[in-house]
Amino acid sequence: MTQRYKLQPAGRSRPHRDASRASRPPATPKQAAACCSPVDSLLDIELFKAFSDPTRVALLACIAKCGRACSVGEVAECCDVDLSVVSRHLALLTRSGVLEGRKDGRTVFYRVRYAEVSRALRALADALDDCQPTHSPSPRRQARSTPHG
């Protein structure tokens, strides 16, 4: 099945009650604060915090564009920062569910969890669209044009 809500680190998964974005929106922001909606869980602070540092994002972009799992040493050649800094950034990206690490001998290979991240981003986009009263109430689409799970 598809993971609908908040992005989790690799190897976990968590259910979450659906806030059933009812027929009409709350009248005031204060009322909105009380009623919970998919956007609450999809606005995943840890995920977006991972995307909010230039060095970290540069490292992520390098791995992403590479399209394969990369070692820490390889990734460190992208940026002019200490290897320990790279290690910490990759660890944080892993904790936030963006990367996945695999140890092979004495080297650690990090790969991007493309499907999970893009699914989380699209889910948030859908949830935001659903908040607009003028918007049609969201046909649940698959992740991409290709209908694989």
Shortest Å distance, C-beta 142 to DNA: 33
**Which residues are CB-neighbours of 83 under 8 A, at least 6 positions away?**
72, 73, 76
User: How many other C-beta atoms are found inside a 10 Å radius of the C-beta of residue 98?
Assistant: 27
Stretch that binds DNA, among 11-19, 32-40, 102-110, 121-129 (CB under 7 A): 102-110
**Contact between 73 and DNA (CB under 7 A)?**
yes
| Residue 138: CB atoms within 10 Å | 12
Cβ atoms of 65 and 111 closer than 8 Å: no
The answer to whether the CB of 30 falls within 8 A of the CB of 12 is: no
Of these, 1, 105, 145, 149, which contacts a copy of itself (CB under 8 A)?
Answer: 145
Footprint of a copy of itself on residues 45-64 (CB under 8 A)? Answer: 45, 48-49, 51-54, 57-64
Smallest distance from a copy of itself to CB 97, Å: 13
The answer to whether the CB of 2 falls within 8 A of the CB of 15 is no
Residue 18 has which token pair?
């659906």
Tell me which long-range contacts 14-20 makes (C-beta under 8 A, separation of at least 24). Answer: 16/41
Using the rule CB under 7 A, give the single segment among 7-15, 61-69, 83-91, 140-148 that binds DNA. 83-91
Residue 83 makes contact with a copy of itself by CB under 8 A: no
Query: Using CB under 8 A as the criterion, which residues of the chain lie in contact with a copy of itself when the complex forms?
Result: 25-33, 35, 37, 39-40, 43, 45, 48-49, 51-54, 57-68, 70, 74-75, 77-79, 112, 114-115, 117-119, 121-122, 124-126, 128-129, 131-133, 135-136, 139, 141, 144-146
